[in-house]
A and B are shown apart, each in its own frame.
Chain A
Amino acid sequence: KAGVTQTPRYLIKTRGQQVTLSCSPISGHRSVSWYQQTPGQGLQFLFEYFSETQRNKGNFPGRFSGRQFSNSRSEMNVSTLELGDSALYLCASSLAAGGPATNEKLFFGSGTQLSVL
């Protein structure tokens, strides 16, 4: 079974631009969540999607948005990039039975390393 695939692997943008990151979950996984990882802030939850609906959102400005398609693939978009958006963006998928659960382990992609100049 193929793992979680994130594209692109590396990205360099300049301030003010926008960027779209893509994530393909493991086949059959219905939940996709996104995390921002920086040396100073650690892993911060961005949002989670289940069956094309955003179920939860972290404390990030509205410049960060996402969506999930009917095939569970997900994209996240960051508009008006700032220097502080430089980070490793990790996507994770889980099987997700549909209701809340505590035992859903996450399967992560290799991440997209975004550098904002």
Chain B
Amino acid sequence: EIHLVESGGAFVQPGGSLRLSCGASGFDFNTYDMNWVRQAPGKGLEWVSVISGGADATDYADSVRGRFVISRDRSRNTLYLQMNILRAEDTAIYYCAKESGSRNFPMNHWGRGTLVTVSS
């Protein structure tokens, strides 16, 4: 069975940094593209970032480009999101999601999310 478990969410001040992790199990982690998607309180879904299975390609939403960095550790089966220069508008539940293939596939498995709160 496929499991995705996010961690690292916390309360942080504006301008601060945080690293989210997503532990993956139950599938060949190196084969599938992985995403981060966020949801602000009471709002809709916002795609944040994607990384290819081989970690050779990444992409970001304009709202986080230059501040967030997605990465993956193949030996640890873990996805990361390094979040820098955090803003109040980054407050959200952050979900990691696995695509059903590599390069432009739908997200067929999701974690339960981790909450990031940015506030002074």
Whether chains A and B associate is no
